[in-house]
Amino acid sequence: MNTVRSFALAFLVLALPFGGYAQHTVGLLSYKPWAAFDGYNLLYPHNQPNVYLLDNCGRIVHVWTDMPQFRPGNTAYLLEDGRLVKAKRPANVANDPIWAGGGGATVEIRDWDNNLLWSFTLNDSTARLHHDFAITDEGTLLLLAWERKSADEAIAAGRDPATLTEGELWPEMILEVDPATDEIVWEWHVWDHLVQDFDPSKPNFGEVAALPQRIDLNFDPTGGDADWMHANAIDYRADIDQILLSVPTFNEVWVIDHSTTPEEAAGHSGGLGGLGGDLLYRWGNPQTYRAGDSTDQKLFFQHDAQWVDDFLDFTHPHYQKIAVFNNRVAPDFSTVNVFTPPWDMYSWSYTLIGGMAWGPTDFDLTLTHPDTFALHSTGLSGVQFLPNGNVLITSGRWGYTFELSPDGEVVWEYKTPLRGGAPVAQGDTLELNQNLTFRVRRYPTDYPA
């Protein structure tokens, strides 16, 4: 029996009609169809190469297979015309010059029948794709990548050499690639937007607190890791032409102006926000720009930062707010949080009072599992607000996805039925990190694909 067939049978066996879930340990655990949002779930588990589309009963509707020498890198999205856009990487990374958790390499577009339509790879000694990408309304792709800087380059920019314990840095960059032309049409680099107060003889010297729109080269909570920022999510909002980044080691989300030209994106002026490629907004940990202390920190190694707008409209109570999966909010549980950024469309800026931190001062909404300690994942994980008011939440290190109603009831549960990428039997018990699942996305039944 080939691998794909065994996977399909495993998923099928684990998808049963409504009811009778008492003995379920994997696959569909519970389902209340009268309360759950009807749709199809896109699942791209770690440690295996395939992307699955499941109905709410856990049955496979479609699968995009790949060769066994590949792994997720880490996300996949389904387009309205039925094409799949996915990130992947080689399974063997032993000799890769740049590698850390979340590493990618290639982004592909495949049609419904799994024919390869387009591919872009960046994985060499200078840079590497990782974690996530966003798709613009024009069909271009905003790709997250690490950009390798040597110790000499970092020191020349004003980094304290005592903190370069791995001998290099991998600051973030965003490359916008047009699949129609294979061209990089826009780019943004952290390295163009630094500030440092360590060495007055070096570039970027300035007062960190006076320049909150720039990134402190010497703010380093990782203890000198090359993967200094570890950005793990990117989102795009077309109506204001802005990009949202999740930067978990800084415990922040950042907003960047995409209305800039490539030249403006490398500088400090221009674009609709007037700041070039400097940060329009940052939130979650004002210690990064010396406007607060640990009591002001709100985000803790967050994942899946996003504007709340997929398949929604202005009638949704959290429409166009920002949501995150707040992984390490406590030692033994995680939360989903929503907050309202202080966006002023008239000044086209995020309100900031000099010497203070950007608002808000707290969340609009905090969610967790009814059994608080059932939601705990120190990494990975995702959240999606659904049109019926429910929320889909993935606890990534447990491969556990559940749907929460507005009154806090769990109305759908699914546990990825794989151990290290291989199918397991009903009744098997999966432990932490055995069925890693970066996130799950649900598409409405009327989605054109």
Residue 201 pLDDT class (50, 70, 90 cuts): very high
The whole-number average pLDDT for the span 171-178 is: 99
| Position 28 in a domain | no
Is 415:435 a contact under the CB 8 Å cutoff? yes
Token duo for residue 379: 């990494």
Residue 265 pLDDT class (50, 70, 90 cuts): very high
How far is it, in rounded angstroms, from Cα 428 to Cα 425?
6
CATH number of the domain to which 367 belongs = 2.130.10
* pLDDT for the residue numbered 449: 81
| Position 443 in a domain | no
Nearest to 329 by CA among 286, 370, 282, 372: 372
User: Residue 255: which residues within 8 A CB-CB, separation 6 or more?
Assistant: 242, 243, 244, 245, 279, 280, 281, 282, 341, 350
Residue 372 pLDDT class (50, 70, 90 cuts): confident
* pLDDT for the residue numbered 6: 46
What confidence tens digit (pLDDT) does each residue in 44-67 have? 999 999 999 999 999 999 999 999
| Position 39 in a domain | no
The whole-number average pLDDT for the span 269-288 is: 98
| Position 20 in a domain | no
Is 246:253 a contact under the CB 8 Å cutoff? yes
Whether pLDDT at 22 is above 70: no
The whole-number average pLDDT for the span 114-128 is: 98
Largest CA distance in the chain: 70
User: Residue 200: which residues within 8 A CB-CB, separation 6 or more?
Assistant: none
Sheet holding 303-307, edge to edge: 303-307, 322-330, 333-339, 365-367
The whole-number average pLDDT for the span 427-444 is: 96
Residue 323: count other Cβ atoms within 10 Å of its Cβ. 27
The whole-number average pLDDT for the span 113-125 is: 98
What confidence tens digit (pLDDT) does each residue in 384-404 have? 999 999 999 999 999 999 999
The whole-number average pLDDT for the span 260-274 is: 98
How far is it, in rounded angstroms, from Cα 396 to Cα 327?
10
Whether pLDDT at 134 is above 90: yes
Residues 166-200, buried b or exposed e (16+ Cβ, 10 A)?
eebbbbbbbbbbebeeeeeebbbbbbbbbbbbbbe
The whole-number average pLDDT for the span 377-384 is: 98
Q: What is the mean pLDDT of the chain?
A: 95
* pLDDT for the residue numbered 23: 77
The whole-number average pLDDT for the span 322-338 is: 97
Whether pLDDT at 155 is above 70: yes
Give residue 420's Cα distance to chain centre: 22
Whether pLDDT at 20 is above 70: no
| Position 413 in a domain | no
Amino acid at residue number 34: W
| Position 161 in a domain | yes
| Position 31 in a domain | no
Range of the domain at 130: 61-378
Q: Is 374 exposed, middle or buried (0-12, 13-18, 19+ CB in 10 A)?
A: middle
The helix (run of H) or strand (run of E) holding residue 30 is: strand 27-31
How far is it, in rounded angstroms, from Cα 415 to Cα 394?
9
What confidence tens digit (pLDDT) does each residue in 176-188 have? 999 999 999 999 9
| Position 50 in a domain | no
Indicate the number of domains in the chain. 1
Instruction: Kindly compute the dihedral angle of the four CA atoms of residues 50, 55, 57, 62, in this order, to the nearest 10 degrees.
Output: -40
Percent of the chain with pLDDT over 70: 95
What confidence tens digit (pLDDT) does each residue in 333-350 have? 999 999 999 999 999 999
* pLDDT for the residue numbered 373: 86
Whether pLDDT at 3 is above 50: no
